[in-house]
Amino acid sequence: MAFPVTRMRRLRYHPTLRRMVRQTRLSVDRFIYPLFVRPGSEIRIPIPSMPGQFQLSVDAVVEECREVAGLGIPAVLLFGIPSHKDAVGSEAYRDDGIVQRATRAIREACPDLLVVTDVCLCEYTDHGHCGAVFERGGFRDVDNDATLPLLVKEAVSHAKAGAHIIAPSDMMDGRVGAIRAGLDQAGFSHLPIMAYAAKYASSYYGPFRDAAESPPRFGDRKTYQMDIANGDEALREVAADVEEGADIVMVKPAMNYLDIIWRVKQEFGMVTAAYHVSGEYSAIKAAAANGWISEQGAAIETTLAIARAGADLIITYFAKDLARWLRAGV
């Protein structure tokens, strides 16, 4: 018998054949594009640690959303930078808050674009933590149960402003259930919750914290975000959120947690989102700027890996680039 009978290379020899047998395909339909909104008008401030990303005023974010929608990207994820921060993040749940205003404006300008809003307090608190802080006997931490009603208020005010999907990212216990009940009570039982279900205490959020001006002023987020070493715990986190009514579950970050994405998708069969976070984006940008890797190649390979691991939805700062590349048939 001639050796070898099986030649794996036979299905690779022609580019058209490779196209035919390609198993995982990227589609713009999967992408969610994050945006940072700040007060003012005609403002477009580049974020130094995230080349290609900007802090945008409401009018500028509307312009941006027109472009995003024009590229066929179905959804944006809004983060707000308020004019004033305080201990309990009051601007997060004001009806004229920055995200609420941006949401209304985008809804009006781009009727087919979905507005997903990040529900968390770290952008709005002066201490930079994701909830209200308590101090007892020299011990300071985020107060889980005191934070829940604040998150509920924030979620309901986003819903009133027209948010299509509510995305809590704080990692408090019980917040999905609390937000579900709050939304239902306020007449928004039809609105889905995309829960940041397995969110790790990652070093890769650094550029985001510059962008959102939200680094914690003391300590870190390790008492609420997950330990980077834990896998089984992610399944318990997801199970809890599903039990509490999450419609979409998210794993975050994405690249270093492909095993978690895989396990979550296999175990729950839920619509699963993955967040390719700021540091993952900026690492590719920086290496590409130095000529060390191909930006397009690395961005596509990374996004494909996230999809192959089982992510149905991918939140990525590369969404616009990917949409253009896909359109060009790359």
Report the interhelical angle of 295-308 vs 319-327 (nearest 10°): 100
Question: 76 or 122: whose CB is closer to ligand PBG?
Answer: 122
Q: In 3D, which of 93, 89, 79, 90 has the Cα closest to residue 38?
A: 79
Catalytic one among 85, 153, 252, 285?
A: 252
The residue among 320, 116, 130, 318 whose CA lies nearest residue 222 is: 130
Which residue's CB is nearer to ligand PBG, number 60 or number 122?
A: 122
By the rule CB under 5 A, 172 interacts with Zn ion: no
Structural contact between residues 255 and 318, judged by C-beta atoms closer than 8 angstroms: no
99 binds ligand PBG (CB under 6 A): no
**Site map 205..244 versus Zn ion, x via CB under 5 A:** ----------------------------------------
Q: Amino acid identity, residue 287?
A: A
Q: Give the number of other Cβ atoms within 10 Å of residue 276's Cβ.
A: 27
Q: Report CA-CA distances (Å) from 138 to 71, 122, 282, 297.
A: 52, 22, 37, 50
**Out of 49, 125, 147, 169, which residue is the one contacting ligand PBG (CB under 6 A)?**
169
Residue 175: which of ligand PBG, Zn ion, none does it interact with, CB under 5 to 8 A by kind? none
List binders of ligand PBG among 113-142 (CB under 6 A): 118, 120, 122, 130
- Under 8 Å between Cβ of 91 and 97: yes
Please indicate whether residue 222 is annotated as part of the active site: no
230 vs 328 by CB, closer to ligand PBG: 230
Shortest approach of Zn ion to residue 225 CB, angstroms?
9
Q: What is d(CA 280, CA 133) in angstroms, rounded to the nearest whole number?
A: 29
Asked whether position 165 contacts ligand PBG by CB under 6 A, the answer is no
Strand extents, DSSP E, 186-263: 194-199, 248-252
Q: Which residues pair with 78 in a beta bridge?
A: 35, 117
**320 noted as active-site residue:** no
Phi, psi of 195 (to 5 degrees): -90, 130
Q: Rule CB under 5 A: is residue 120 a binding residue for Zn ion?
A: yes
**Count, residues near ligand PBG per rule CB under 6 A:** 11
Say whether 6 sits in a helix, a strand or coil.
Answer: coil
Among 78, 130, 132, 226, binds Zn ion (CB under 5 A): 130
C-alpha–C-alpha distance, residues 193 and 164, integer Å: 9
Residue 277 as a binder of ligand PBG (CB under 6 A): the answer is yes
In the complex, least distance from residue 89 CB atom to ligand PBG, rounded to whole angstroms: 11
State the residues that interact with ligand PBG by CB under 6 A.
118, 120, 122, 130, 169, 205, 208-209, 221, 277-278
Active site residues: 199, 252
State the residues that interact with Zn ion by CB under 5 A.
120, 122, 130
